[in-house]
Structure 1
Amino acid sequence: MLDRFGPVLWTVVALVIAYSIHTLRRWRYLRFEQFADLPQPGKPSFIWGHIKKLADLARKKGDPRRHFDLLIAEARSEAGNPPAILLDLRPLSDPMLVICDHEVAEQVSRPSARWSWSTPKSPTLKQIWHLTGNHSIITSEGDHWKGQRRKLNPGFAPQHLLTLLPVILDKTQIFLNRLDHYANTGEEFLLDELCVTLTFDVIGAVTMGKDFNAQLPGQQSEILLSFRGISEEYTKRSGPEIPILNWRSHRIRRRFANRLDNLLKETVREEYIKVVSGETSSRSVLSLSLQGAEELTPELLQQTSDNLRLFLFAGHDTTSILLEWAFYELSKSPQQQRAIRVELDELFGTDSDPKLVREKLLAPGGSETLSRMPYTSAVIKETLRLHPPAGTVRWTEPGTNFQLDLGDGKQICADGCVLYLCSTLIQRDRNVYGETADRFVPERWLGDSSSIPASAWRPFERGPRSCIGLELANIEAKVILACAARRYNFQKVGLGELEVDGEGKPVPDEQGYYRTKSELFNVGITDRAKSAQVTAKPVDRTVMKVRLSEQAIRT
């Protein structure tokens, strides 16, 4: 028997050994040589790359639930703060080149001779297709992307969005009623939930002309419930997004995603019939995007459904995170809170009743008032600088020879890496923002701010593929702050709450900001409580108490 099969067995053994040697050599090349010329946080592990390094940082320094960006900051610091740093995340994910410098980021986001609409988006975005769709504007490339953007632009034009002020104000009033309730009862509440449901209501009206009733428990629309079902499954995951390890969650997400797709497609069909028959007066993003469509093809139907899904995700998330952090930052910054209230008094009168804000904004020429809010705009801009909801991820195929200039004449090839433009680090660069880079200083945006390069502020990213909803987020935030910033005093509870003296008064530091007992931070994928997020959100959902301000009580 052995004589008969011996040669075959020895051949198999030899092939296995040869293949193993080849595999080990290949793996050694990939791990230690492929990106050897890129800045890295120490030598990668042969098996785990830099994953173990990041896990150690999460465990040993600070709260392990911290967002990935904060771990990158520590890894980068250990590497000497280079403008870009390579994190080898294999075998769990692709290697990632984290861009931490605005000039390098600009090389990625701007158009070029090779890519007319900037560097391609990363295929890793497919991991969140349940939230963004497979055929939406965020994942499309080239002429396909250009055509979608052209159709959608009218729905997000500033002058068009200003016509939607009545619905934004209507939804804001419900938000204010809920805050009034908590001010009267003194209960703790999750500011996140109030902000999320408010911005869901607004994005539903703007994109589909639908009332989601998001702020009315028991009356919420099926579209909203299906979307939140998907979102909640993402927050339950623990660790990296690996389908085989999260198979049950993937199955639940897919079920909700299919249900949402059916609901959105039915909405699209209904609106298309109204558009072609001339029976609609709607100026929603959906209605405007369907005008001129000769036929509702399966491709157009799916694309439109996916874009609505994307707008639900991005349209509520960015603004709700902005509002949470803005109210918190103002609550511990007395000088800045005083300044925004003075500006609002000058515009709307000293009576802080939101009804007067509404009357002023809806009066003839009232929308122009929004352009006369420089300090409020500065608060929004500074909040987004310190707490950007997300960066962007790009990708260039191996063999493309995409070169990045890291300065000092150093060129690197970024092919085969996920290019993560880390807004958190770019927007806290001390070379740009100085010693106050980590401080809430809206004043830096007043007057002549030309010393700050435009490319150093990129919460909506830059270039041709910047966020289409930038102006909507700005208008929403201005309206909501105008109605709420003078009326309420927010008090953080738990993580990030203020220090108080023996009389219960907040304790100021040397710069005039109130001291805090601990630091509020954005959550990441390592949260032991399994509250991982797709975007960067406060870890505790911003537990607050609220009371009416003295100004509101007087008036």
Structure 2
Amino acid sequence: MIAMLDKLGPVLWTTLALLAVYAVQTLRRWRYMRLQQFAEFPQIEKTSLIWGHMATLGKLFKKGDPRRHIDDVLLEASREQGNPGVVLLDLRPLEYPMLVICNADVAEQITKASPRWSSSTPKSLTLRNIWHLTGQNSILTAEGEHWKSQRRRLNPGFAPQHLLTTLPIILDKTKHFLGHLDRHANSNTEFSLDQLLTALTFDIIGAVTMGQNLTAQIPGEESEILLAFMGIVASYKTRKRPEIPGTGWFEERKRRRLAAKIESLTKDVVRQEFARAISGGLDATKSRSVLGLSLQGVEELTPELLQQTSDNLRVFMFAGHDTTSILMQWVFYELSRSPKQRGALFDELDKLFGTDVDPATIGAKLLGPGGAELLNQMTYATAVIKETLRLHPPAASVRMTAPGTDFQLTLPGGKTICPDGCIMYLNSYIIQHDVNVWGETVDEFVPERWLGDTSWMPQGSWRPFERGPRSCIGLELANIEAKVILALVARRYDFVKVGLGELELDVNGQPMADEKGYYKTKSALFNSMQVTAKPVDGTMMKVRLSERATMA
């Protein structure tokens, strides 16, 4: 035994010495990463050697309702520091360090085209976290020429003039939504506006982009694609970020299974559409879906094209339903507590569509001669939409440049930093709540700010659909949907918030206005993180037919 120890001694001591050297080098490397690498970047507070900014983030969440979206937390922290333009959050080793972009000028530097990146800075690697929803080869994540070729192929389906031809589809799908509202008005029951609007926008996006009837608004008859997609979305709602590696494996397994099913189903849709196209069964001049238009002139459905097209359909389902659903939830809530603004909207709708609030009458005018011009003349409605998107943007963009790229950002004041290796989180919520841009009414619902001359607004200060070459391709579709829904719904129904954010009533049961004319609320409605930023309670509502509707 002694002889064996004598033999092992040198090996043991050498091993211990190497481990000690490794430990010292690792500690030095860690100290550099934590305390020096981004030391000159603006930070909420000094980073901890052990925890980075994770403990700091935890403290910030504890200042309010812990269900709040991280954007609310970061806005408060940014304002406390006078909005330095960017704020660093070191979340290693659970996530990449995150550089939160809080300034429009800085954001513009990231999203503009440049000689190095013709389609703007690359998307973040963290988008792989939602690949089960969007696929890996879509327009969302593609770069360079791959992105350009996809965008060119998809542009015809999202051209404004083409989208106007989808008005019959949008109106038809909205009939089911109106039916659900009528039912809840008659029964005086509470309901989730999120659920109704999500079903409506799924039906619209399925028909417009794929030519498919997802039957999202008919309980028990939802399509297979929709059920699988909603299963993945539901699994993300319970996901904690940042997530400890190795946890959540059961949900991950479920997501993979559902993603495989969605991929199979969407590829079948693409194959069927392509087969009709090449057989002559699909007249190119009559094809109305984005999918059909994107396949025009395609002679061979290669595996690569099949995968890209399938993944793009998934992106359209995800972004196309979510953005408009969230927008309209906040539109109806903001209008419900803003009597002056609601009155101004009603005056415009009366002028354009007449005082008859029957959806059939309004729909006939939209489909008749001059229908497109009626949409263009909805200037106050457009202001309502823009102001709602300013206050409550549903999502943001994340970009990333690899270490060694030497990408430079110029901050307010002229200082330059290199964010290589950081997630660049273009926080439209903070940018659109910049008091230096929007003034004392920054947190108020003021559609009037969008009327008349808007040249005072700094470039890039409004960016809910992002800007630059990679701005959202579905912007115009979302605008058309929102205007149609407003025209049909706003004057026909009175929405009453239930629970969080409900109105404060006087002894006579009437809402009480504050000094600025907005109705007082018992509490504040806010967004939580549910893949995107959505009202935390699903926007629980009651609805009743308006006085005009009951008199008709």
Check whether the contact 1:264–1:308 (CA below 8 A) recurs between aligned residues: yes
| RMSD of aligned Cα (Å) | 0.9
2:533 to 518, 533, 536: 536
Which stretches of structure 1, 4 residues or more, deviate above 6 A after TM superposition? Answer: none
Instruction: Give the superposition deviation at 1:74.
Output: 2.5
Residues 4-28 of structure 1: CA distance to partner in whole angstroms, max 9, x if unpaired? Answer: 1111100000000000000000000
> Is structure 2 residue 330 aligned with structure 1 residue 325?
yes
2:59 to 49, 56, 59: 56
Aligned mates of 1:240, 1:53 — CA distance in 2: 14
Residue 311 of structure 1 is matched in structure 2 by 316
Residues 498-531 of structure 1: CA distance to partner in whole angstroms, max 9, x if unpaired? Answer: 101000100100000001100000013xxxxxxx
Aligned mates of 1:436, 1:75 — CA distance in 2: 19
* Partner secondary structure for residue 512 of structure 1: coil
Residue 528 of structure 1 is matched in structure 2 by none
Residue 463 of structure 1 is matched in structure 2 by 468
Q: Which residue type is aligned with residue 57 of structure 2?
A: L
Check whether the contact 1:243–1:250 (CA below 8 A) recurs between aligned residues: no
> Is structure 2 residue 255 aligned with structure 1 residue 273?
no
> Is structure 2 residue 96 aligned with structure 1 residue 94?
yes
Residues 147-195 of structure 1: CA distance to partner in whole angstroms, max 9, x if unpaired? Answer: 0000000000010010010010011111011001111110000000000
Residue 182 of structure 1 is matched in structure 2 by 184
Aligned mates of 1:28, 1:319 — CA distance in 2: 45
Instruction: Give the superposition deviation at 1:78.
Output: 3.9
> Is structure 2 residue 438 aligned with structure 1 residue 441?
no
Check whether the contact 1:182–1:188 (CA below 8 A) recurs between aligned residues: yes
Check whether the contact 2:84–2:412 (CA below 8 A) recurs between aligned residues: no
Residue 553 of structure 1 is matched in structure 2 by 550
In structure 2, relative to structure 1, the CA distance for the partners of 1:379 and 1:306 (3 Å cut) is same
Aligned mates of 2:92, 2:165 — CA distance in 1: 49
Residue 27 of structure 1 is matched in structure 2 by 30
Aligned mates of 1:346, 1:80 — CA distance in 2: 44
Instruction: Give the superposition deviation at 1:46.
Output: 1.3
Instruction: Give the superposition deviation at 1:258.
Output: 0.2
Residue 245 of structure 1 is matched in structure 2 by 247
1:39 to 35, 42, 46: 42
- Aligned positions, number: 546
Trace 1:64-213 onto structure 2 (pairs within 5 A).
Answer: 64-213=66-215
Aligned mates of 1:299, 1:45 — CA distance in 2: 46
Residues 234-269 of structure 1: CA distance to partner in whole angstroms, max 9, x if unpaired? Answer: 112234245511110000000000001000011111
* Partner secondary structure for residue 87 of structure 2: strand
* Partner secondary structure for residue 527 of structure 2: coil
Check whether the contact 2:75–2:430 (CA below 8 A) recurs between aligned residues: yes
Q: Which residue type is aligned with residue 169 of structure 2?
A: V
Residues 436-460 of structure 1: CA distance to partner in whole angstroms, max 9, x if unpaired? Answer: 0100000000011111124100000
* Partner secondary structure for residue 494 of structure 2: strand
Q: Which residue type is aligned with residue 51 of structure 1?
A: M
Aligned mates of 1:125, 1:390 — CA distance in 2: 13
Check whether the contact 2:400–2:420 (CA below 8 A) recurs between aligned residues: yes
Check whether the contact 1:182–1:545 (CA below 8 A) recurs between aligned residues: yes
Q: Which residue type is aligned with residue 219 of structure 1?
A: E
Moved more, 347-356 or 322-331: 347-356
* Partner secondary structure for residue 537 of structure 1: strand
Aligned mates of 2:117, 2:305 — CA distance in 1: 25
Check whether the contact 1:39–1:79 (CA below 8 A) recurs between aligned residues: no
Instruction: Give the superposition deviation at 1:354.
Output: 0.9
Check whether the contact 2:78–2:87 (CA below 8 A) recurs between aligned residues: yes
Check whether the contact 2:173–2:204 (CA below 8 A) recurs between aligned residues: yes
Aligned mates of 2:245, 2:317 — CA distance in 1: 24
Aligned mates of 1:409, 1:220 — CA distance in 2: 54
> Is structure 2 residue 237 aligned with structure 1 residue 232?
no
* Partner secondary structure for residue 464 of structure 1: coil
Instruction: Give the superposition deviation at 1:489.
Output: 0.7
Aligned mates of 2:121, 2:82 — CA distance in 1: 27
Q: Which residue type is aligned with residue 512 of structure 1?
A: G
Instruction: Give the superposition deviation at 1:407.
Output: 2.2
> Is structure 2 residue 12 aligned with structure 1 residue 9?
yes
Aligned mates of 2:291, 2:243 — CA distance in 1: 31
Which stretches in structure 2 are left out of the alignment for 5+ residues?
none
> Is structure 2 residue 284 aligned with structure 1 residue 296?
no
* Partner secondary structure for residue 455 of structure 2: coil
Trace 1:382-461 onto structure 2 (pairs within 5 A).
Answer: 382-461=387-466
Aligned mates of 2:58, 2:225 — CA distance in 1: 38
Aligned mates of 2:496, 2:472 — CA distance in 1: 32
* Partner secondary structure for residue 207 of structure 1: helix
Check whether the contact 2:166–2:288 (CA below 8 A) recurs between aligned residues: no
Check whether the contact 1:48–1:91 (CA below 8 A) recurs between aligned residues: no
Instruction: Give the superposition deviation at 1:93.
Output: 0.3
* Partner secondary structure for residue 139 of structure 2: coil
Check whether the contact 1:203–1:315 (CA below 8 A) recurs between aligned residues: yes
Aligned mates of 1:423, 1:10 — CA distance in 2: 56
Moved more, 240-249 or 106-115: 240-249
Aligned mates of 2:500, 2:246 — CA distance in 1: 34
Aligned mates of 1:94, 1:354 — CA distance in 2: 50
Instruction: Give the superposition deviation at 1:119.
Output: 0.5
Check whether the contact 1:488–1:547 (CA below 8 A) recurs between aligned residues: yes
Instruction: Give the superposition deviation at 1:360.
Output: 0.2
Residue 287 of structure 2 is matched in structure 1 by 282
Instruction: Give the superposition deviation at 1:551.
Output: 1.7
Structure 2-normalised TM-score? 0.98
Residue 364 of structure 1 is matched in structure 2 by 369
Check whether the contact 1:207–1:311 (CA below 8 A) recurs between aligned residues: yes
Q: Which residue type is aligned with residue 22 of structure 1?
A: Q
Residues 185-241 of structure 1: CA distance to partner in whole angstroms, max 9, x if unpaired? Answer: 100000000000000000000111111111001111111111111111111223424
Aligned mates of 2:123, 2:244 — CA distance in 1: 20
Moved more, 236-245 or 289-298: 236-245
> Is structure 2 residue 345 aligned with structure 1 residue 337?
no
* Partner secondary structure for residue 534 of structure 2: coil
* Partner secondary structure for residue 393 of structure 1: strand
Q: Which residue type is aligned with residue 426 of structure 2?
A: L
Instruction: Give the superposition deviation at 1:344.
Output: 0.4
Instruction: Give the superposition deviation at 1:80.
Output: 3.7
Aligned mates of 1:258, 1:100 — CA distance in 2: 37
Aligned mates of 1:454, 1:272 — CA distance in 2: 42
Residues 411-431 of structure 1: CA distance to partner in whole angstroms, max 9, x if unpaired? Answer: 111111100000000001111
Moved more, 358-367 or 194-203: 358-367
Aligned mates of 1:80, 1:14 — CA distance in 2: 49
Q: Which residue type is aligned with residue 495 of structure 1?
A: L
Aligned mates of 1:350, 1:130 — CA distance in 2: 47
Check whether the contact 2:177–2:200 (CA below 8 A) recurs between aligned residues: yes
Percent of paired sites with the same residue: 65
Aligned mates of 1:295, 1:133 — CA distance in 2: 22
Aligned mates of 1:313, 1:48 — CA distance in 2: 34
Instruction: Give the superposition deviation at 1:57.
Output: 1.2
* Partner secondary structure for residue 523 of structure 1: strand
* Partner secondary structure for residue 532 of structure 2: coil
Aligned mates of 1:278, 1:106 — CA distance in 2: 46
Aligned mates of 1:551, 1:48 — CA distance in 2: 59
